[in-house]
Chain A
Amino acid sequence: MSRNRIDKIPATEITPKSVHDDRRDFIRKLGVGLIGGIAASSGLFQDASATSSDRQKITSYRKSSYGHEETTTPYEDITSYNNFYEFGTSKSDPAASASRLITMPWTISIEGQVRKPKILGFDDLLRLAPLEERIYRMRCVEGWSMVIPWIGLPLADLIKWAEPTGNAKFVEFVSLDNPAMMPGQNLHVLDWPYTEGLRMDEAMHPLTILAVGLYGEVLPKQNGAPVRLVVPWKYGFKGIKSIVKIRFTEHMPVSSWMKANPREYGFYSNVNPSVDHPRWSQATERRIGDGLFAKRRKTMLFNGYAEQVGQMYSGMDMRKYF
């Protein structure tokens, strides 16, 4: 199913055919090396909890051709301008206080409509699929955007491993709930823990990834370490951070933002320049890193990924299902 969709991606976005075809071969060849890489990376993930300035390289991942036409946003901007309310509502709060977060050890609980509930350790997660760099645009609901070179693996690989039952129509994600490590949770700006959701086909889509790194390095804590969701055609808040639970459900989950303000935030939250936020326009965006005298850019439908994801929403009223 995912193969069919991949074929419809424009040439610039496609993983090179050689890489694509060689995938099995690649896995076989690198199998041993990859396990070694995981061992190394688990050591490296342990070290990462020391200080936030401790930047750790991810040893083995492959490049992909996603987003190579874009100029990536500087590392400093991606890691200093964050919406991660668990650490405070100001954009500088996460970088200032996320060092308290202990990301090792880390487990993800797999629950709900699955053949058997399981606990997935972080190292096991890395073994599910080869890590790959994906350069994606990220559009925040507030009207700004970045281009981020994520490193991660397709969520689809985790879902296949999780063996959801036929009743699983949606996937619900839950963040860590720990006010001692996440001081922002002492304020009731949102109903903690942070919760998000995807429809099954969205979750299985090849563009949807679980990110564990950026710029070739272990994911900084302010960006949602150790593992976060990246859904590039949706507004950034759908990209839930520091995931501890993935639950398969029959009914549509209610996300934190839907609960906080159902009139302003819907389940889908697809980037759409013609459906405004009730209080502000979504027609344009400010690209972070463009500087003080840069013009806003036009926001693209599905954040520019319409060719790959548009068909999932054909016939759906995007104003009603915002």
Chain B
Amino acid sequence: MNRYINYFIFSLLLAPIIRLIVLAVSNQLGANPVEFIIHSLGTWGLIYLLLTLTLRPLSQLIHSSKPILLRRTVGLFTFAYVCLHFLSYAGLDQWFDFQAIGSDIAKHPYVLVGFSGFLLMIPLAVTSTNQWMRRLGHRWKKLHRLVYLIAILGVVHYWWLVKKDISMPLLFSAILAVLLGYRLIPKLSRGWRREQPATDIIHTA
């Protein structure tokens, strides 16, 4: 039974890429197919990244370990979508013109921010195996905290490329803020309680 649930989740995670393939084959990617593919892969990469960050709070909320057990799978899917996002930009759009790509990264902050996020994902994907978890011990957790920075970079990347209508980046930012807040607020309030007299809390907050 469990296996079927896994298959189901797997195919759900694959659905966006299957959709793109179906649309491409049936010539339904619209007037600007390259842009469609790049934007679609980027959007899904970001959605899955936020989904990865939702799994632990969800597990705590519903008192079940099932969501958190999916974290590696969803995380690796995120990496796959972001890889394809970058590859479609580098290949389909820029035709692997590394000089153009290099100057795009260097000159345009939104590209730099997105590219940095992508690079930072590589060590996390590499060290996602059980073997690496054992080898790195407590440092593994520290390393994988990079995911928070990556998520911020991803949202900023989106925010900076939008021409005027910021509703989508705003939505992603709001979700990310909730997910970060969920982790930060208990930590901060614990810290304050330990280190500072109650009267100071108001000032520092």
Which A residues are within 8 Å of any B CB, using their own CB?
76-77, 80-81, 85, 89, 91-92, 142, 144, 187, 189-190, 260-261, 276, 279-281, 283-284, 286, 288-289, 291-293, 295-296
- Which one of B30, B100, B109 lies within 8 Å of A81 (CB-CB)? B30
22 A-B interface contacts by CB (under 8 A): A76-B31, A80-B30, A81-B32, A85-B164, A89-B164, A142-B163, A144-B32, A279-B109, A279-B110, A279-B161, A281-B103, A281-B107, A281-B108, A283-B100, A286-B32, A286-B34, A286-B35, A289-B31, A291-B33, A292-B37, A292-B92, A296-B95
Specify which chain A residues have a CB less than 8 angstroms from the CB of B33 in the assembled complex: 291-292
Q: Are B104 and A281 in contact (CB under 8 A)?
A: yes
A288-B95 CB under 8 A given contacts A189-B165, A279-B108: no
Cα A219 to Cα B92 in complex, Å, equals 33
**Closest approach, in angstroms, between the C-beta of B128 and any C-beta of chain A?**
32
Specify which chain A residues have a CB less than 8 angstroms from the CB of B80 in the assembled complex: none
Cα A77 to Cα B36 in complex, Å, equals 14
Specify which chain A residues have a CB less than 8 angstroms from the CB of B93 in the assembled complex: 286, 296
Specify which chain B residues have a CB less than 8 angstroms from the CB of A291 in the assembled complex: 33
Specify which chain B residues have a CB less than 8 angstroms from the CB of A281 in the assembled complex: 103-104, 107-108
- Which one of A81, A276, A296 lies within 8 Å of B31 (CB-CB)? A81
Cα A85 to Cα B165 in complex, Å, equals 9
Which B residues are within 8 Å of any A CB, using their own CB?
24, 29-35, 37, 92-95, 100, 103-104, 107-110, 160-161, 163-165
Cα A234 to Cα B10 in complex, Å, equals 48
Specify which chain A residues have a CB less than 8 angstroms from the CB of B37 in the assembled complex: 292
Q: Are B92 and A288 in contact (CB under 8 A)?
A: no
Q: Are A190 and B92 in contact (CB under 8 A)?
A: no
A77-B31 CB under 8 A given contacts A187-B165, A292-B92: yes
Cα A276 to Cα B34 in complex, Å, equals 21
Closest chain B residue, CB of each to CB of A73: B31
Specify which chain A residues have a CB less than 8 angstroms from the CB of B161 in the assembled complex: 279-280
Specify which chain A residues have a CB less than 8 angstroms from the CB of B34 in the assembled complex: 286, 292
Looking at B29, B32, B107, which has the most chain A CB atoms within 10 Å of its CB? Answer: B32
Closest chain B residue, CB of each to CB of A287: B32
Cα A261 to Cα B95 in complex, Å, equals 32
A260-B92 CB under 8 A given contacts A286-B32, A292-B24, A292-B33: no
Cα A82 to Cα B196 in complex, Å, equals 57
Specify which chain A residues have a CB less than 8 angstroms from the CB of B92 in the assembled complex: 292-293
Closest chain B residue, CB of each to CB of A190: B164
A295-B32 CB under 8 A given contacts A89-B164, A279-B110, A279-B160: no
A144-B160 CB under 8 A given contacts A279-B109, A280-B108, A281-B108: no
Nearest 6 interchain pairs by C-beta:
A81-B31, A89-B165, A77-B31, A292-B33, A288-B31, A189-B164
- Which one of B29, B103, B104, B164 lies within 8 Å of A292 (CB-CB)? B29
Cα A295 to Cα B164 in complex, Å, equals 27
**Closest approach, in angstroms, between the C-beta of A296 and any C-beta of chain B?**
7
Closest chain B residue, CB of each to CB of A289: B31
Closest chain A residue, CB of each to CB of B164: A189
**Closest approach, in angstroms, between the C-beta of B195 and any C-beta of chain A?**
42
Closest chain B residue, CB of each to CB of A146: B31
Cα A260 to Cα B29 in complex, Å, equals 31
Cα A170 to Cα B198 in complex, Å, equals 64
Specify which chain B residues have a CB less than 8 angstroms from the CB of A92 in the assembled complex: 30
Specify which chain B residues have a CB less than 8 angstroms from the CB of A187 in the assembled complex: 165
Specify which chain A residues have a CB less than 8 angstroms from the CB of B24 in the assembled complex: 292
Cα A281 to Cα B160 in complex, Å, equals 14
Cα A229 to Cα B165 in complex, Å, equals 24
Q: Are A144 and B30 in contact (CB under 8 A)?
A: no
Specify which chain B residues have a CB less than 8 angstroms from the CB of A284 in the assembled complex: 100
Specify which chain B residues have a CB less than 8 angstroms from the CB of A289 in the assembled complex: 31
**Closest approach, in angstroms, between the C-beta of A145 and any C-beta of chain B?**
11
Specify which chain B residues have a CB less than 8 angstroms from the CB of A189 in the assembled complex: 164-165
Cα A276 to Cα B110 in complex, Å, equals 14
Cα A89 to Cα B164 in complex, Å, equals 8
Given contacts A260-B164, A281-B107, A284-B100, 14 further A-B contacts (CB under 8 A): A80-B30, A89-B165, A91-B31, A91-B32, A92-B30, A190-B164, A276-B107, A279-B160, A281-B104, A286-B93, A291-B33, A292-B24, A296-B93, A296-B94
Specify which chain A residues have a CB less than 8 angstroms from the CB of B160 in the assembled complex: 279
Cα A190 to Cα B163 in complex, Å, equals 11
**Closest approach, in angstroms, between the C-beta of A279 and any C-beta of chain B?**
6
Cα A113 to Cα B186 in complex, Å, equals 65
Cα A276 to Cα B103 in complex, Å, equals 12
Specify which chain A residues have a CB less than 8 angstroms from the CB of B35 in the assembled complex: 144, 286
Q: Are A288 and B107 in contact (CB under 8 A)?
A: no
A288-B32 CB under 8 A given contacts A276-B107, A279-B110, A295-B95: yes
